Structure 1
Amino acid sequence: MARRGERRSERRRPARDRVRTARAGDAGGVAIVVATPGDAVEPLALQRPAGPVVDVVCAQPGTPDERAAFGRAVAEAAARGVRVADEPWVIDAEPGKITASVLDALRELRPLLVTTLDPDPGHSSIDLEANRPVVTEPPLRGSVARATVSAARTYQRECGTPVFVRCHRAGASASLGVRASARHPLPLRWLVRGVDGRLSAYLPSAAGVLRWTEARAGADEWTGPELLDGPDLLPGLDVVQDAQGYVHLFGLRRRKRPDGERFVEMAHATQYQSGRPLGPWHSAGNPHGNDPAKSRQAGFPAAAFDAEGGLHVFVRNVGHSISTRRQGADGRWSAWQHLRGVMVADELVALTGDAGVPEVWARVRDAAAAVRWHRATPGGEWAADATGAVSPAPGSLSAAPEAGTVRYRYAGSNEVCVQVPGAGAVSLGGPDGTGPVAGVAGVDIQGWDCTVLVRSGESGACLVGAHADGRPESGVWWFDAGETSVVPPAVAVDGLGRAVVAVLGDDGRLRITRQVQGDAGLVFARWTVVGEG
């Protein structure tokens, strides 16, 4: 194990609301920051071949067995084409000084992506007498993860370039894929069209939400990335649009009680006009209130709107079932309601079903199955449908444009499927790659209204396909769009009616391609790097 040399001199901090994108010679690698070398084994197995160089930073040198396991993981990664730099940097941080030590490492390594473990490690059981979750993970794991999230936030504000953080669930196998292994999911619908027809892209970074916005509807000129004002969010985001076209952002933030104890709550903000300042962030609460132990065990929120404009929020609670509440048009929140039934994983999809009544799908915790909670009427009782018709691979559930419809990868073959209400599952092909599929309906392709789909293929490739609206059984032809992405690719329809696909490159820069309308089928123009030139 080796310690790296002196850190580079600190760069002057730019204005906080403007974020510089990386240029040639700037940051661009991956830093895995963990407690000991053994904790880096699974994150290493998730790295992309031919991707950015990977550095590993450890708080402690670990045991001989851990170091041997790490050595094997490095060799296996190298055999897949992953570039792992040198030996791990062991920082030997003293208690209370971990954040400063990690920050020094980030200043030296200048990464674009920072991977650490869960800052709020999951519990293994409940102490019934004390009524609190029992966490058996070594305390250093959570301490290093929290320090890394904080250090990455500071580092991004110092350097002015985007930095993205992934928190890997301790003990989660790399076979689950990036999304199912992550504690805080990235949004799928992160490219949206605002009320004025302009597109905006929203992604969570270490220092907060980044936003890119078209200068004019359908134009290749964009502003951003801009770091939106807001609280210090944990590294995840959900992006939802209401019937009026307003964009709603949901995340998690850590807060301090009067007695100094910290808890986690959901936060919500609204974007009313494209490119204008974001509305204030408001608390959406937590089903466990400000309980410092239980609130930190809750999952990431999923949200949907009903036909009356009410906002429904769903979250996996400490008991691994679902809790939900509704915010009415007057801004008042209902009490939390517990949806009992099957124990679920931290993978929820909220969508609007028939008659504008929201519903939520969740992957079952210990089986290749999903359960759906729905109501027959807006004020009716919640009912669970666990018939087992949907068998999703971990991390692959997503909402489709049609009411009550979900997409997923079939656990038995990894192929993409869509579950159509009343018609069962339809295969969309595409067994390569991992993770969910995003899509947008209403795209004109040679006079036909079609749904355009995007997904991640092997090594992060952006793959695009399409089928006639409402007719997935007609089949999908997938093709490589010619770019890779470090986040799930997104798709939207711009103000001129063209499909637009967006990815985030290894340099942290937004890239887009627009549909070329005409008689040649689904054709896209050359990729444009936002901010180039």
Structure 2
Amino acid sequence: MRFVPLVLAALLLIAGQTAAARPPSAVFLNVVAHQDDDLLFLTPDLSQTLKASVTVYVTSGEGSHPESMTPEDYAEMRQAGERNAYATMAGVANRWDRVALRTGTGTTAELATLRARPSVKLVFLRLHDWSDLHGLWNGEVASGGTVLPTGSPARVEDTYTRDKLTKTLTWLMDHFRPTVIRTQNPAPLSGFYAPDPDNPDHTAVARFTNLAAESYEGKAQVRNYRGYDDAQLPTGLDPALRAERTKAFRAYADVDTNVATLFDDTASYLGWRQTMLNRWPSGVSWTDGADEAYAVLGDEVKRWRRNVFGEWGKPVGLGGSGFAPAVTVARQADGRLRLFSLNRNTFDVVTAVQDRFGDYSGWTSLGNPNGPGGDQTGLPAAGTDAQGRLWFFVRNGGGGVSARQQNADGTFGDWQDMHGWGVQDGLSVVSAGGRLQVFATQCSARLYVTATCSIARLVQGESGFEWDTSVVPGAAATAPTAVAGTDGKAHVYFRATGTAAVLMAVDGVVTDLGNPGGPGEVAATATGEVYARNAAHGISARGASGWRAVGGHTEASPAVVGRGVVSIGVDGRLTQLVH
């Protein structure tokens, strides 16, 4: 085992400041609990955006140290593994400048900067693994200490309280000025991993990060990634991206000998490398299909409008806070737009509606089907049935679907349980054939066994909604997108398990539309134009000659406007890529 030598032998303290120098147009801040969480759950998004990337490790990860090593030695081994992985991803020599970083809250972290790529930085806060992090969040402990990794320039023992850790993370955000903040899963879905759906430290670090982001001075997109349950979900990355992810993790495991012994374990490290999923998919329903777009930036929903010359104006804030990173746009029977989102702190559905002048007055909670603490509630999807009644649907705590119908006076009726099982987040609603139809990815859930996922349909009939699980054959790796085609039928788009190719299903007949690479949901128009993220972090469009890149640099799925497409870039800007 070889360790990178310290470049600076003397302790160097970098004084705290409220903001760093003006950043590039896009800066990425990754916040994870342990060394290797970033490689297993945030990659390949992370590995493809190393131009300006900072990763923060909240714990020392020493809790699983072998009996032959001290916690301090193992903490240093894990840090060395991350340095090796990032140098490998950047394609440069594994040489780093390591210094102590004094934060704005008075604590000391280690800051490692990749010498050949100084925009790549690693920050180690060094909290104790296992108990301190989730104990601080849950109130089980009042304070937690830190580890002094062998050879680290950060030689100060710190004490963190819940408030101090939150403020430290906010300070790091203000210091590095990210436009995208990635972290782990604050609300793991049950039923896909035992004994817990995720590591409690993963959950705690995500909740700390989300809370810290609410006080961040900048305007960032916050994205949460699923964790341990990835091991049981189908492969959602194409072979090239899986190979990229495996290469990065192999570089880490070459140093962390404890992890190397389980590198190909199907129930853990091998399974976790097969897919990358957001806890809350961004979806493709964040425009009105014509001249308005909505997205969450800086903990607030922003609105873009297009003028008569086809030009998009600057974003305008619509207030509120605590939004999950997705907005659904629906049109009421009276023609006004209504927005739906999910509050990631209360897990309640929230809504805002236009007034007669086209403005929004504020957000209202519509609750959730499982009551207080219903953290299994999914993102709302909405649509209008043939009678002009607006409905919205969510994944509920039982793994099924619940819904509420809008009344004639604009209020919403009681929650209705539509039943179902194994439903994943990311529903899609379409009115086709005179009926409202809800499409969902449905996964079998057997502990330690890879799930089989397919597309199921909840269809409106004379006596209510009923499930039809045979309407869309084929193995699905992403949430579906349903569009009413010009033939009046529901056209359902999703990515295939194993290849991430885009599939289209109409009346039970599945057509392979080829593979643009990349992850995420697919956007499509009624006339058959199809758009999806590609393997280069951009957007591709499918034409008669196949897929072609049309630009963009995004981690969110695109959305349709007319026959064209828009995307929200990693710099937070709205761009129309196809007109």
User: Is TM (by shorter chain) over 0.5?
Assistant: yes
Which structure is larger by alpha-carbon Rg, 1 or 2?
2
Deviation at 1:27, TM superposition (A): 5.8
Partner-residue secondary structure (3-state), 1:240? strand
State the match for 1:460 in structure 2. Answer: 537
State the match for 2:304 in structure 1. Answer: 212
Runs of 4+ in 1 over 6 A off after TM superposition: 1-4
Partner-residue secondary structure (3-state), 2:513? strand
Deviation at 1:78, TM superposition (A): 4.7
Partner-residue secondary structure (3-state), 1:102? helix
Deviation at 1:101, TM superposition (A): 0.9
Count of residue correspondences:
453
Deviation at 1:150, TM superposition (A): 2.1
Amino acid at match of 1:217: V
State the match for 2:214 in structure 1. Answer: 153
Deviation at 1:465, TM superposition (A): 2.2
Q: In the TM superposition, what are the counterparts of 1:358-507 in structure 2 within 5 Å?
A: 358-365=437-444, 366-377=451-462, 380-387=463-470, 389-402=472-485, 403-411=489-497, 413-421=499-507, 424-430=509-515, 432-441=517-526, 450-466=527-543, 477-493=546-562, 499-507=563-571
Amino acid at match of 1:456: R
Q: In the TM superposition, what are the counterparts of 1:11-90 in structure 2 within 5 Å?
A: 25-26=23-24, 28-46=26-44, 47-49=46-48, 51-63=50-62, 64=65, 68=77, 72=81, 75-76=84-85, 78-81=87-90, 85-90=120-125
Q: Is the 8 A contact 1:172 1:181 kept in 2?
A: no
Partner-residue secondary structure (3-state), 1:96? helix
Q: Deviations over 1:390-416 (max 9, x none)?
A: 324322411223243211122254321
Q: Is the 8 A contact 1:37 1:67 kept in 2?
A: no
Amino acid at match of 1:372: R
State the match for 1:352 in structure 2. Answer: 431
Q: Is the 8 A contact 1:186 1:238 kept in 2?
A: no
Partner-residue secondary structure (3-state), 1:99? helix
Q: Deviations over 1:229-252 (max 9, x none)?
A: 224323332233446653332111
Q: Is the 8 A contact 2:53 2:121 kept in 1?
A: no
Deviation at 1:125, TM superposition (A): 9.2
State the match for 1:521 in structure 2. Answer: none
Mean Cα deviation higher: 24-33 or 319-328: 24-33
Amino acid at match of 2:366: A
Deviation at 1:96, TM superposition (A): 3.1
Partner-residue secondary structure (3-state), 1:296? coil
State the match for 2:360 in structure 1. Answer: 278
State the match for 1:141 in structure 2. Answer: 202
Q: Is the 8 A contact 1:250 1:267 kept in 2?
A: yes
Cα 1:488–1:357, aligned 2, differ >3 Å: closer, same or farther? closer
Cα 1:315–1:69, aligned 2, differ >3 Å: closer, same or farther? farther
Q: Which structure shows the bigger proportion of residues in strand conformation? A: 1
Q: In the TM superposition, what are the counterparts of 1:229-268 in structure 2 within 5 Å?
A: 229-242=319-332, 245-253=335-343, 263-268=346-351
CA distance in 2, matches of 1:460, 1:267: 30
Q: Is the 8 A contact 2:428 2:482 kept in 1?
A: yes
Gaps of 5+ in 2: 1-5, 66-73, 92-116, 128-159, 238-273, 445-450
**Among 162, 170, 180, the residue aligned to 1:113:** 180
CA distance in 1, matches of 2:275, 2:408: 33
Deviation at 1:100, TM superposition (A): 0.4
Q: Is the 8 A contact 1:309 1:329 kept in 2?
A: no
CA distance in 1, matches of 2:317, 2:201: 31
State the match for 2:220 in structure 1. Answer: 163
Q: Is the 8 A contact 1:309 1:328 kept in 2?
A: no
Partner-residue secondary structure (3-state), 2:214? helix
Deviation at 1:347, TM superposition (A): 3.4
CA distance in 1, matches of 2:495, 2:12: 43
Amino acid at match of 2:211: S
Q: Deviations over 1:428-460 (max 9, x none)?
A: 22352222211223xxxxxxxx43221111121
Cα 1:313–1:506, aligned 2, differ >3 Å: closer, same or farther? closer
Cα 1:193–1:319, aligned 2, differ >3 Å: closer, same or farther? closer
State the match for 2:155 in structure 1. Answer: none
CA distance in 1, matches of 2:493, 2:567: 20
Partner-residue secondary structure (3-state), 2:430? strand
Partner-residue secondary structure (3-state), 1:406? strand
Amino acid at match of 2:184: L
Deviation at 1:204, TM superposition (A): 1.3
State the match for 2:94 in structure 1. Answer: none
Q: Is the 8 A contact 1:401 1:439 kept in 2?
A: no
Deviation at 1:105, TM superposition (A): 0.9
TM-score w.r.t. structure 1 length?
A: 0.75
CA distance in 2, matches of 1:50, 1:4: 28
Partner-residue secondary structure (3-state), 2:172? helix
Mean Cα deviation higher: 392-401 or 134-143: 134-143
Q: In the TM superposition, what are the counterparts of 1:168-247 in structure 2 within 5 Å?
A: 168-173=225-230, 176=236, 181-193=277-289, 199-214=291-306, 216-220=307-311, 222-242=312-332, 245-247=335-337
Partner-residue secondary structure (3-state), 2:302? strand
Amino acid at match of 1:87: L
Q: Is the 8 A contact 2:435 2:460 kept in 1?
A: no
Q: Is the 8 A contact 1:163 1:205 kept in 2?
A: yes
TM-score w.r.t. structure 2 length?
A: 0.69
Amino acid at match of 1:489: P
Task: State the identity %.
Answer: 25
CA distance in 1, matches of 2:28, 2:533: 19
Cα 1:482–1:322, aligned 2, differ >3 Å: closer, same or farther? closer
Q: Is the 8 A contact 2:398 2:421 kept in 1?
A: no
Amino acid at match of 1:233: F
**Among 304, 308, 318, the residue aligned to 2:383:** 304
CA distance in 2, matches of 1:325, 1:76: 48
Q: Deviations over 1:57-111 (max 9, x none)?
A: 1222111567756755664555444878233331643333221010111111111
Partner-residue secondary structure (3-state), 1:148? helix
Q: Deviations over 1:453-477 (max 9, x none)?
A: 21111121211124xxxxxxxx663
Q: Deviations over 1:31-56 (max 9, x none)?
A: 11122324323244222425542211
Q: Is the 8 A contact 1:187 1:203 kept in 2?
A: no
